């Protein structure tokens, strides 16, 4: 016990205590010898605390700024360069959904003829984002910048319009897919309604106001039985939430046209397909499954009738989009105020020759030279419609729209792209060897 005490405490503890007390006392005396010194010290401490707080908030806001994927002088310079037309009288177009199927094709077509193009895309994972990144790489190669951001981000949109006086907005960002709305209804409201309104708010406040061309859908015809579908037909019986949000979009855009003088063109696309397409669509997923020897599900109508679609090739759709931009009149408002009536248009962009789903499968089998394993099921009541068929007289008259690619030729191009993109040649051989699918 004694040993322990000696280790823990010095042999002459009292001396040490006294010396320490003296030293501390002397220091305190020096520092706080007078009340004025105490006052000065207090002031100094308050100033130190205040400057620390200011520094902290600077660090916070700067880290928020640097964490955002947009902003800064260099970024603004790139945005301006991408959106600047390369030809006299060229357009300056903000393309939303630019890393998407239709968006990437339209962006490339515009850039090719010398228009300025700036893309915007949120790269969500509704389907494989690597395909969206590959499309972005294509756009990069043509000096088209794609800003990563959401149409619901009002600050980002305001910034883009502050940096670039866009002449047009090609609005293609959306939650697509008819049947997925059963699984995730909120995503349709988020993108197709809330996102649309946020975008239109930015457009109406912009000075100059851009003309807006945007993607509606053939699905707005819903349970319509008039054939072929004309723009003048009633569209008040949607069969899916997706269709309902697109129909709502037509009404919402009308409001912005009416109140703010925004020039609006809505395009009702009919089942668009082609190279760089969407993996969630039937022609794409059928191709994947057929090549992998997996079964495909072919839906049929209730009375055993085949379902049919007015499948429209991407190049024809691109021509319709570009013609819509070219014929769009200017918005009449500026900075949120209307100064006169402005254009409001809706067009069908279809192919005018519906093809049944079994016929689509037959064409794919021929191009892939593989027999599909088919399961035929009754169409589930989850938003599908039995057929679509476009009347395109209006688009032909006003846009000079004339589709030139039939499903046979279009799918040939798609299959060629698919095989080169996914490198399925080798796997095709594997399919032959394992016999998991029958080669035709
Ligand atoms: O035209 C349109 O407005 C819509 O076209 C397509 O929707 P959809 O025509 O349903 O295209 P797919 O999903 O490719 O289906 C095509 C046909 O194949 C059928 N199908 C689909 C999937 C499947 O596994 N089996 C099958 O038989 C569908 O019932 C439909 O008749 C797009 O997915 C929508 O985003 C677009 O808005």
pLDDT of residue 334: 84
* Least confident residue range of 25-29, 187-191, 361-365: 25-29
Specify whether the CB–CB gap between 102 and 321 falls below 8 A: yes
Q: Tell how far CA 431 is from the center of its chain.
A: 35
Question: Ligand 1 pocket, 271 CB below 6 A?
Answer: yes
> ipTM of the assembly?
0.99
Summarize the confidence of residues 81-96 as an average pLDDT: 98
Ligand 1 center from residue 164 Cα (angstroms):
37
Residue 167 reports pLDDT greater than 80: yes
C-alpha 248, offset from chain centre: 19
Q: Which of 289, 288, 278, 302 is closest to 387 using CA atoms? A: 302
Q: How far are the Cα atoms of 25, 37, 55, 392 from residue 45, in angstroms, in the given order?
A: 22, 12, 15, 77
Give the rounded percent of residues in the chain with a pLDDT score beyond 70. 81
Q: Render pLDDT for 204-256 as a digit per residue (tens, 0 to 9).
A: 999 999 999 999 999 999 999 999 999 999 999 999 999 999 999 999 999 99
Three-state DSSP state, 19: helix
For residue 156, what are its two tokens? Answer: 């980002």
d(CA 325, CA 347): 13
The answer to whether the CB of 331 is under 6 A from ligand 1 is no
Answer yes or no: is pLDDT of 49 > 60: no
Q: Does the pLDDT at position 65 exceed 70?
A: no
Residues 6+ away with beta carbon under 8 Å from 174: 97, 191, 192, 195, 215, 246
* Marked catalytic residue, from 180, 242, 256, 401: 242
Q: Is the pLDDT of residue 435 over 80?
A: no
| Residue nearest atom 8 of ligand 1, based on CA coordinates | 271
CA distance linking residue 153 with residue 114, whole number of Å: 29
What pLDDT was estimated at residue 341?
94
Contact 116, 93 (CB under 8 A): yes
Residue whose entry in the numeric block shows the structure tokens 């030729």 = 409
Six-digit token pair at 431? 């399919």
Residue 433, pLDDT above cutoff 80: no
How far is C-alpha 144 from the chain's CA centre?
A: 16
Q: Is 299 in the pocket of ligand 1 (CB under 6 A)?
A: yes
The answer to whether 299 is a known catalytic residue is no
Residue 407 Cβ inside 6 Å of ligand 1? The answer reads no
Cα dihedral across residues 349, 353, 356, 361: positive or negative:
negative
The pLDDT, as a whole number, for residue 11 is 32
Percent of the chain scoring above 90 in pLDDT: 78
Question: Can you read off the two tokens belonging to residue 226?
Answer: 């008039």
Rounded to an integer, the average pLDDT of 332-352 is 94
Kindly report the protein residue whose alpha carbon is nearest to atom 6 of ligand 1. Answer: 271
Q: What is the mean pLDDT of the chain?
A: 87
Residue 119 contacts residue 191 (beta carbons within 8 Å): no
Per-residue CA distances from 28 to 31, 63, 177, 318 (Å): 5, 42, 77, 83
- DSSP secondary structure, 81-120, as one string: HHHS-SSTT--EEEEETTTSHHHHHHHHHHHHTT-EEEEE
């Amino acid at each position: 016990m004694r040993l322990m005490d000696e280790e823990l405490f010095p042999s002459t503890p009292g001396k040490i205590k006294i010396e320490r007390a003296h030293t501390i006392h002397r220091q305190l005396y020096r520092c706080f010898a007078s009340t004025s010194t105490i006052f000065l010290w207090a002031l100094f401490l308050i100033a130190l605390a205040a400057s620390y707080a200011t520094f902290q908030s600077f660090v916070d806001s700067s880290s928020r700024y640097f964490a955002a994927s947009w902003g800064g002088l260099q970024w603004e310079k790139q945005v301006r360069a991408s959106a600047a037309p390369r030809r006299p009288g060229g357009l300056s177009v903000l393309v939303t959904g630019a890393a998407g199927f239709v968006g990437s094709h339209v962006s490339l077509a515009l850039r090719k003829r010398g228009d300025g193009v700036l893309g915007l895309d949120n790269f969500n994972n509704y389907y494989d984002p690597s395909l969206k990144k590959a499309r972005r790489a294509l756009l990069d190669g043509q000096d088209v910048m794609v800003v990563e951001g959401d149409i619901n981000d009002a600050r980002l949109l305001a910034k883009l319009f502050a940096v670039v006086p866009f002449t047009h907005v090609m609005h293609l960002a959306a939650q697509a897919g008819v049947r997925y709305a059963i699984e995730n209804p909120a995503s349709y409201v988020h993108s197709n309604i809330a996102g649309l309104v946020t975008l239109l708010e930015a457009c109406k406040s912009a000075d100059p106001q851009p003309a807006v061309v945007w993607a509606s859908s053939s699905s707005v015809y819903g349970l319509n039985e008039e054939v072929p579908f004309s723009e003048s037909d009633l569209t008040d019986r949607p069969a899916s939430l997706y269709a309902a949000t697109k129909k709502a979009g037509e009404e919402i855009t009308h409001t912005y046209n009416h109140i703010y003088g925004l020039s609006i063109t809505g395009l009702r696309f009919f089942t668009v397909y082609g190279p760089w397409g969407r993996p969630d669509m039937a022609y794409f997923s059928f191709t994947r499954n057929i090549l992998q020897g997996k079964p495909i599900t072919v839906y049929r109508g209730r009375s055993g009738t085949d379902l049919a679609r007015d499948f429209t090739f991407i190049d024809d759709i691109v021509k319709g989009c570009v013609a819509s931009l070219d014929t769009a009149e200017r918005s009449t408002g500026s900075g949120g105020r209307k100064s006169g009536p402005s254009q409001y248009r809706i067009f069908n962009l279809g192919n005018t020759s519906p093809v049944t789903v079994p016929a689509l499968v037959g064409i794919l089998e021929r191009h892939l030279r593989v027999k599909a394993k088919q399961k035929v099921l009754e169409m589930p009541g989850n938003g599908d419609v039995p057929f679509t068929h476009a009347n395109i007289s209006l688009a032909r008259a006003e846009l000079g729209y004339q589709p030139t690619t039939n499903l046979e030729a279009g799918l040939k191009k798609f299959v060629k792209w698919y095989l080169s993109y996914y490198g399925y040649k080798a796997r095709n051989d594997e399919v032959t060897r394992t016999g998991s699918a029958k080669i035709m």
